[in-house]
Structure 1
């Protein structure tokens, strides 16, 4: 079974390698990084789809499906479970959604292993080119990515074996987004960027604050999703007709408990779900206001205008999809797009942090290195 599952992951990776191979980009490593970033983003979107369709237990074991590598071989077990619980978590459709998500995750894992192997090989081959070795092919970051994807896989297994315990599912989501942010950083490091104005240095701290605020908001959103609290408030801007409704923060934000239960084993109250939803909704306005201000500052900074423009577009999309989930009673497509918007904001803020913090310095180092090389050449050939 493990060999068959691994083969599915390799197949996904081979398709990505084919895209890189036929690409006109001469820097195949850089292209592979960007393709892996794109697939990691897609994986997060599909993970949201898996969670929102309640397919997380479509196959209640791990890594296979009732001990098999695909739902076709496990059809008898799935049919028996569905017959015993017609409205339960197991069905043929949910099993396929869950297993496709796992195949996809394995493929991304194979690509990250390839990135790590290539970076180590190039690092060892570039001993005679110290500057190239330092900037482009440092293997430590791809190696850290490998350990991160292994940890993510472990939490994926615990998500199933612990029966969708909210803290584990939320941690699984946050680790997936951490992986996405790391891939975005690696992609930024491999790419060439337009010169950035010196005034970008003033955005270093605000960009970090914006990233921190977004991570908190994503964690709150994950907590809403994993506790199925999206419809705890169905009106806006009020919640149950009040600006501050009756809420139970103590049970709502108790981390270590089973799904739908309090830490004491009682059923989670509606007031607890309201507290979860209301906190995410209220904090969203803080995040939106700060990111809009940061995007406006980026629009006025040479080299950051494009990133600032996209930040405004995506934050507007997030506001629209967030409100739409309330007004239109949580439609699946909009809810998935809302998750994707959060991931896109994360990538954009990582890129902004990279450009504001590292790109000006890297250009300065490169210029100094080029000047030193010219001087040394002149000294050797007067």
Structure 2
């Protein structure tokens, strides 16, 4: 079958698709764990990389470290290093999850090679995701070396989203045969421009959220800045970001309504859009909690995860729509 043709839903394709879904869910779990590390201030729980306090398995108490360990790390540029078992093991678990996901993506890439005769783009995207994960591992070492410089942390996060995007692209390609059987003949002609508008809104919203996140990091490392005072210290972009969330929510609700009226509740695009709307609602709710309750640390990972899920679901919705339209 040529690359331009639709892929038959073979057993090999179904097996690869299941693995891809597991891998994508695992990457999102890593985003949640990474956000928890960042919110709890455990990012430097391991001041070296790839080891942690010089060992592959970190210590459980300060007594297991050399008496002069603070001087050792001060000479390396980490003057404020102080062993904290909770933060150390939080960061260590984050690294273990990252390694596990690396192995999952390696397996996904190897398994995709058997599909290259059906659709070479599945294999290309899967291998690209593997190369990006290798780069992400190196980037993680640079984050530690930079002593959690905000710009490096943001780049690390954006790279994780890029990996999700590439994996979702491969997953959507594997669903072309499924979407070919989903007619969109009755879809409202305004759906496509609205979908593009919603995606642009999301990109703007995530961009503003990234700026707010970096300012929060700055306040977190500013001596004397308490969480309850963070909101009042944030710049104007925070208030635009907060208000614009209502526009994003309404736009996504309109998208769902358009799909429901045109295609019905049983259509894959409608159900995917409903899931998207639920996640947008979670993002708005968690954002409002952060803004009105003094930036509670437990809510920050939820807000970041929901924003990441919005990006992924919108991308998948766009890809599925394109494949259904081309069928």
Q: Structure 1 residues 108 and 204, CA, compared in 2 at 3 Å: closer, same or farther?
A: farther
> What is the CA-CA distance between 1:279 and the residue it aligns to?
4.1
Does structure 2 retain, via aligned residues, the 8 Å contact 1:148–1:179? yes
Which of 280, 299, 314 is equivalent to 2:241?
280
Summarize deviations over 1:344-373 as a string: whole Å, max 9, x none.
212221221012112332xx3xxxxxxxxx
Q: What TM-score do the two structures reach when normalised by structure 2?
A: 0.78
Q: Distance in 1 between matches of 2:218 and 2:253?
A: 25
Say if 1:68 and 1:74, in contact at 8 Å, map to a contact too. Answer: no
- The structure showing larger relative contact order (alpha-carbon pairs under 8 Å, at least 6 residues apart) is 2
Residue from 153, 170, 185 that aligns with 2:154? 170
Out of 67, 90, 107, the position equivalent to 2:54 is 67
Which region of structure 1 is more displaced relative to structure 2, 163-172 or 187-196?
187-196
5+ residue gaps, structure 2, are: 1-10, 224-229
TM-score (norm 1): 0.67
* Structure 1 pair 115–200 and aligned structure 2 pair: CA distance change class (3 A): farther
CA distance in 2, matches of 1:26, 1:148: 23
Q: Please state if 1:189 is matched with 2:150.
A: no
Q: Any unmatched runs of 5+ in structure 1?
A: 1-23, 127-132, 233-258, 262-268, 365-382
RMSD, matched Cα: 3.5
Instruction: Give the Cα–Cα distance (whole angstroms) in 2 for the partners of residues 41 and 324 of structure 1.
Output: 22
Of 91, 96, 99, which aligns to 1:98? 91
Distance of 2:51 and 2:33 partners within structure 1: 18
Q: Provide the rounded CA distance (Å) in 2 between the counterparts of 1:332 and 1:25.
A: 43
Alpha-carbon distance in 1 for matches of 2:270, 2:46: 46
Q: 1:200 Cα shift?
A: 6.5
Shift in CA distance, 160/301, structure 1 to aligned 2, threshold 3 Å: farther
Question: In 2, distance between residues paired with 1:78 and 1:284?
Answer: 50
Tell me the distance in 1 between the aligned counterparts of 2:207 and 2:133: 19
Describe the shift of the 1:101–1:26 C-alpha distance in structure 2 as closer, same or farther (beyond 3 A).
same
**Given the superposition, is the C-alpha separation of residues 307 and 325 from structure 1 closer, same or farther in structure 2, using an over 3 Å criterion?**
same
Cα-to-partner distance string for 1:56-83 (whole Å, 9 max, x where unaligned): 111111122122212138953498549x
1:309 alignment counterpart: 274
Instruction: Trace 1:127-142 onto structure 2 (pairs within 5 A).
Output: 133-134=118-119, 138-142=122-126
2:288 is the alignment partner of 1:323: yes
